[in-house]
Every structure is written in C-alpha cells, then in structure tokens.
Amino acid sequence: MSDVVVIGGGQAGLAAGYFLRRAGLDFVILDDQKQPGGAWQHGWQSLRMFSPAQYSPLPGWPMPTQAGETFPTADHVVDYLQRYEERYELPVHRSVSVTSVRRENERWIVDTNAGSRKAAAVISATGTWQSPYLPYVPGQESFTGRQLHTVDYDSPELFAGQRVVVVGGGNSAAQILAEVSTVAETLWVTRRPPRFMPDDVDGRVLFDVATAREAACRSGRDHDGVTGLGDIVMVPPVREARDRGVLDPSPMFDRLTSTGVSWHDGREQQCDAIIWCTGFRPHLSHLSGLRLTRDHGHPVTDGTRSIDHSGLHLLGYGDWTGLASATIIGATRTAKPTVAEISARMTRA
Ligand code: FAD
C-alpha cells in the first residue's frame, strides 16, 4: 500500500513526484510508455516548444537552454524530463498501463496490466495525447484521400507535390502548415479567425497574460490582454511561412466530398490529404468506472481535487485543473498545492 499512486510519468506526473518526495510521502509513478518523456516523445519530427527553456521549469531544476535554439526541440524536452527523473530518483514504473481505478474499504485500488496497487490517494496525470479529437463533418466517410490527426503526422516529405488542407487554429496547425507548405500546395481552414502573437514577443507572454487574466477574473474585473494560451506563437518557421503568404486562413468547410472539401456557398477545394490539427480531450478512460460528475466534457474539480472523491486529483490536462496546467510551468504551479492538500489530509487522518 502506498500513500499515493501517480498515474502518468510525463511532466505533470514528475512535478507531482518532486513535491511528494519533499513531503516525505510514499508513492509510485505508473507510466505506460517504455521510455521517459510523456507526449513529447511522440510529436512530429520538427516539433518545438512555443516558449523558451527558462519559461518551462519543473520544480527544483529548471530546463537547461538548448545551444543555438530559443525554442527547444521536443528531443531536448525529452532529455530534460529523463534527466529530471534520474536527478530526483523518482520511482517511475514503466510499461505499466492503468486500466481502472476504484474504491474499496476506504482505499483506492489501481488496476494495471501488472497487477493491482492500493493507495490512500491517487493523482491522475495522463495528459491528452492518447485522446485525439476529430470533429464530425458530413461526408467524412466519402473522402477517398488521406485523413490524419496531429498525432499521426511525422514530417512533410509524405505530402510532396500534393494538395493538403490543414484544419485548426492553434500552434500545432501553424507549425505543421508552415512546413507542409514548403513541399505542398496548402489551404488552411480554421473555425475562428486565428490570433497571432506579435513577432517580437514569444510564448512567455502567454503565461504572463494568462496569469493577469486569471487574477482579473478572480477579482471580477475585465482584462483586455491581447493574448491567450491558444494564440499562435511566431516561432521562426511560422514567421517564415507568414512571409511566404501561406498563413491565410479560410473559414471552416461544411462537408467533405469524395475528392475534397466544400462550403455551403458552393465553393469546393480538391485535395489529396486533410490534416486535422483539432486538439485533444483528457485521457481518462481508467476513471470511467467512478462515474465522476462531468461538465463541459470533463470531470468537475475543485482545484485539482475531484468534487466526487477527496482522495482523487487530476493534474495537467488544461485550464480546468489550474491555469495553463497542460504546460510545464503550469503543471509545476498546480502540483505544489495538490501535494500540500494530500499531505494535509493524510496528517489529519
Ligand atoms: P503527457 O506528456 O501526455 O504525459 C502523460 C503520461 O501518462 C504519458 O507518458 C502517457 O503515456 C501516460 N499514460 C496515459 N494514460 C495512462 C494509463 N492509463 N496508465 C499509465 N500511463 C498512462 N508546453 C509547455 O509547457 N511549453 C511549450 O512551449 C509548449 N509548446 C507546445 C507546442 C506544441 C506545438 C504542442 C502540441 C504542445 C506544446 N506544449 C508546451 C504542451 C505540453 O507540454 C504537453 O501537452 C504535455 O506533454 C502535457 O504533459 P502531461 O504530463 O500532462 O501529459
């Protein structure tokens, strides 16, 4: 029996591990991957962070800068997470997949492909990468070209000489569009007009403005910050694509045909492939047996604590579990009070 089982060994799980160790609690981290790095090991080849290393600190040991790169590559982040895990000797058990979490006699039972574990508290930090979201568009089955999601995308070469529609208004879409447009004819489609960060600021401003916006909301004031966490950061390849004139969004199409996409005004665009950069949902199938109260498609939490169970916390995932909690700095900020809350409850018990 452990004090705490953490499910997921990405950045959020490691941030929790740091604070659990400092609190002197007995814990394990269970991760279904063979290697360290969480979702960062699965991104496309050129994936890079939208914020500089110094704005992406896990607790205790900040991310080192990467020589010659303002925006670290995914490999650099994976290396950092691996070294972080080793540095703090975090007890990560790999290739362990959690299948369900349940209550039994006031304890948590965490079922895995390698047996069951008991714990007094559970932190779920399983991220979103394994639950890609694809909106339904009429005619989707009739399209004879290739459709793929961000999770399936690797590099632009496969699209050389083709006509490609890229769907989505966030950083993934912008980064993928930027490189696919160097080898293919592209059309960029977004549901809302995308918002671009000014060239001379980078991802760090997102965090600053998000923080100011949250403080304003908490005190009932309006905040007219020009940026939000979904805004597109003008990393060098995206800026270069803008200068080539390819960052020119069209409104969302209404249906797919066998050979492309079409709008209700009769306009059509033929294409060979559609890349859906349409985001993710929290990956929470292991909690489905708990029948948690849900709102807006995710379990309802007070901070990171489930409103249904005082010993269950959800960490990472997005703003609903804490401001910018799907980012490294946000995960660090939310892991600390999460562990403090668990620790206080255990002391009381
Ligand atoms: P993950 O990294 O997904 O880790 C969860 C772990 O849990 C994984 O190893 C997973 O395999 C495992 N797992 C899942 N289910 C189970 C289960 N049932 N049992 C056991 N293990 C399980 N963030 C920043 O901070 N700064 C940036 O500049 C930045 N730039 C980005 C740029 C782009 C283009 C994109 C797409 C993302 C960027 N991010 C950035 C986002 C962010 O860092 C990721 O979303 C991050 O990987 C989330 O970390 P996590 O620990 O919550 O989840």
* ipTM of the complex in this document: 0.95
CATH H-level superfamily of 140-196+231-276: FAD/NAD(P)-binding domain (3.50.50.60)
Q: How many angstroms is it from 3 CA to the middle of ligand 1?
A: 24
Atom of ligand 1 nearest to the CA of 171: 34
Q: Ligand 1 atom closest to Cα of 150?
A: 36
Q: What is the mean pLDDT of the chain?
A: 92
Choose the residue to mutate in 56, 100, 327 for probing ligand 1, maximizing ligand atoms within 8 Å of C-beta.
327
- For residue 187, the model assigns a pLDDT of 98
pLDDT tens-digit map of 67-80: 999 889 999 999 99
Give span(s): CATH 3.50.50.60, the chain. Answer: 2-131+280-348, 140-196+231-276
Q: Where are the alpha helices (DSSP H) in the chain?
A: 11-22, 74-87, 171-180, 203-218, 236-244, 328-348
Does the pLDDT value for residue 196 go beyond 60? yes
pLDDT tens digits for range 237-274? 999 999 999 999 999 999 999 999 999 999 999 999 99
pLDDT of 198 over the 90 cut: no
Give 154-191 as a DSSP string.
Answer: --GGGGTT-EEEEE-SSHHHHHHHHHHTTTSEEEEEES
**Overall CATH class of domain 2-131+280-348:** alpha beta
pLDDT at 205 over 80: no
Q: How far is the CA of 129 from the centre of ligand 1 (A)?
A: 6
Coil, strand or helix: which one is 111? strand
Q: Which residues pair with 256 in a beta bridge?
A: 261
Q: pLDDT at position 225, please?
A: 45
pLDDT in tens, 88-123: 999 999 999 999 999 998 899 999 999 999 999 999
Q: For residue 128, give the ligand 1 atom closest to its CA.
A: 3
Average pLDDT over residues 274-295: 96
Q: What pLDDT is stored for residue 235 in this prediction?
A: 87
Which atom of ligand 1 lies nearest, measured to the CA of 48? 32
Residue 143 Cα to ligand 1 middle (Å): 31
